Amino acid sequence: MKNVQEEYRKGPWTEQEDILLVNFVHTFGDRRWDFVAKVSGLNRTGKSCRLRWVNYLHPGLKRGKMTPQEERHVLELHAKWGNRWSKIAKKLPGRTDNEIKNYWRTHMRKQAQEKKRPMSPTSSSSNCCSSSMTTATTQDTGGSNGKMNQECDDGNYSMDDIWREIDQSGANIIKPVKDIYYSEQSCYLNFPPLSPTWESSLESIWNMGADESKMSSFAIDQFPLSFEHDTSAWSCLV
């Protein structure tokens, strides 16, 4: 048995891990997370991989603040369904349950604060709103903090950066966003053209019950990633 505490990595994901995960998800799909976790060599649990993909790496995600429309939508849907975050998220393309949950928490906290000190004339400008939920959230979230937008525009390291790096490499790496199509309920990965050997490999892999040792070497062949920490560029590209 594997000692989970000792062997699995926790905490923030590195760029290399992200790239590796993106590659493997594009290859094997966003299912079978335990398998992806093992085969990729990431020392992460399948759960952790899934979460990273769903909440951050997924190409369909919108980054940045919620629009007033989205905020209103969240409020409406929450009134209807309660804390069914994933259900609500499905109605808001590009938003994750985690994001909505976080938004709601912030929103509720602000509400609670405003209830504590109703009509306080000394409230800062960020608390200037009426008790109307919609207007309150709209102004609050829009006004107080531009962090997310900054990160989006010129932030340290975003998915855009990853895609750009991958794109610039030119190469055999699977292409992101534009080749991936989503429906409301699910995500279809449209793989780039695969070589016949690659295709048959994939097929046989799924059919053979995914012998892990075979898979590992297969993976290494297909993604000869180097994890040398190179600050100038990722040296993982073929």
Residues in the site for DNA, rule: CB under 7 A? 9-13, 31-35, 44, 46-48, 50-52, 55-56, 65, 83-87, 97-99, 101-103, 105-106, 109-110, 113, 124, 140-141, 144-148, 150
Q: Among candidates 107, 99, 95, which has minimal Cα distance to 132?
A: 107
Nearest distance from C-beta of residue 4 to DNA, angstroms: 8
What is the dihedral sign for C-alpha 179, 56, 161, 216? negative
Q: Which is nearer to DNA, 63 or 195 (CB)?
A: 63
Nearest distance from C-beta of residue 58 to DNA, angstroms: 11
CA pair distance 30, 28, nearest whole angstrom: 7
**Largest interatomic CA distance in the chain:** 71
Nearest distance from C-beta of residue 44 to DNA, angstroms: 7
Nearest distance from C-beta of residue 173 to DNA, angstroms: 21
Q: Which is nearer to DNA, 31 or 170 (CB)?
A: 31
Q: What burial letters (b/e) apply to 156-166, b meaning 16+ CB within 10 Å?
A: eeebeebbebb
The one-letter amino acid code at 147 reads K
Q: Which is nearer to DNA, 12 or 170 (CB)?
A: 12
Kindly report the number of other CB atoms within 10 A of residue 198's CB atom: 17
Cβ–Cβ under 8 Å, residues 4 and 45: yes
Q: Which helix (H) or strand (E) holds 182?
A: strand 180-182
Nearest distance from C-beta of residue 224 to DNA, angstroms: 25
Q: Which is nearer to DNA, 156 or 195 (CB)?
A: 156
- The 3 state secondary structure assigned to 116-168 is HCCCCCCCCHHHCCCCCHHHHHHHHHHHCCCHHHHHHHHCCCCHHHHHHHHHH
Q: Which is nearer to DNA, 7 or 170 (CB)?
A: 7
Nearest distance from C-beta of residue 33 to DNA, angstroms: 4
Q: Which is nearer to DNA, 202 or 238 (CB)?
A: 202
